[in-house]
Amino acid sequence: MWGQDWMSISELLMPFPEKPKQTFAKKMRAQNYTVEKMYRVAEDFFVSLNFSSLPESFWKLSMLKKPADGRRVMCQPSAWDFCDTQDFRIKMCTEVSFKDLLIVTHEVGHIQYYMEYSGQPFVFRQGAKPAFHEAVGDTMVLSLLTPEHLERLGLVDPKDLLDNDEQKSLNFLMEIALKKLPLVAFSYVMYKWRHDVMSKTYSSEQLNCRWWELREKFEGVKAPSKRSEEDFDPGSKWHVVADLPFLRTAELIKVNIFRYQFSKILEFQFHKALCEAAGKYPTIPLHKCSIYGNAEAGEKFRTLLKAGYSEAWEDTLEDMTGVADMDVRPLLEYFKPLHDYLVAENARTGETVGWTKGETRC
């Protein structure tokens, strides 16, 4: 509905569609996965890095699945810090699926960030920047998705490891790319649209058509049917109607920080720095590197999280990565095998890269 990830069309875009797709649902069922077990798996990853276990109050007070009594609840996944240094909760209507396991890991990342900086004075108990908060759990997801860790969880058989088949590896990277990279363009469209609304760049009679104009320009997608100002398609996104601050204008002007867009850059920066700390990179490619169980990587990551908002975000980032600004190179390096393949394949087939503006549907 939003196009913030393109997983729904992954079967059309696999470099080698004849290769069997990695599916995890059957393995999860065979291991009797429950909602609680999914949270325990996410917790275990952080604990293996010497992070703290989730407090007992988390398990008692969180809403981890949809209430059985039929109560109407907001199912949008979210993590909560009750600001007393002890009470941390997640609200999510979790279902037993691999997709939700990744979301759970993301949300537990928020909780671990809350817990690590809870020792700071109250004014510093927040992420160094909003994008840092979104990147923590997703950094762990990059390790969780490696063949090494999937085997550890019993979700792939050793004989099926991606390491043994470069074509499967490229399919795997395509799936990750379709999940993560479209969000960069989608989030920018949302920032730009909301900024233009608030600054009254265009009138209230142009809200929906402007949305689709931006989506076609930056994402290369258009409405599936004719739209008009009687529709309000941006309102289908929870962050719009819930007034979640995707962007703060002052931050946009001063340091160009976007919460979700730049979290995608930061998670790969974090991942590379942690793989280096673990002594695995560059021996092991970034897309095959798992930091599970590595104390050195865990200590480096905890140092970043403990700082919270107590110092300039550039200093916090430099302490961990050695670079005092966001750097897209680790992301490009992670996807380099896929990028090299696509460049060669597009040259071979004469494919046109990009898109041209077509007939308007608004």
> Within 10 A of 331 (CB to CB), how many other CB atoms are there?
23
Residues in CB range of 161: below 8 A, 6 or more apart: 147, 151
**Burial state string for 38-47 with b = 16 or more CB within 10 A and e = fewer than 16:** bbbbbbebbb
Rounded to the nearest 5°, which phi and psi values hold at 63? Answer: -105, 95
For residue 259, say whether it is annotated as part of any ligand binding site: yes
Identify whether 239 is a catalytic site residue.
yes
Half-sphere exposure at residue 314, Cβ-oriented, CA atoms within 13 angstroms: 5
For residue 348, say whether it is annotated as part of any ligand binding site: no
Q: Which residues of the chain form beta strands (DSSP E)?
A: 78-81, 88-91
Q: What's the CA angle centered on 275, arms 151 and 106, to 5 degrees?
A: 65
Identify whether 107 is a catalytic site residue.
yes
> Which candidate in 148, 151, 195, 239 is catalytic?
239
Helix (H) or strand (E) holding 37: helix 35-48
Using omega within 30 degrees of 0 as the cis cutoff, is the peptide bond preceding 282 cis? yes
For residue 106, say whether it is annotated as part of any ligand binding site: yes
> Which candidate in 107, 116, 213, 267 is catalytic?
107
Binding residues: 106, 110, 134, 259
Catalytic residues: 107, 239
Binding residues for Zn(2+): 106, 110, 134
Binding residues for chloride: 259
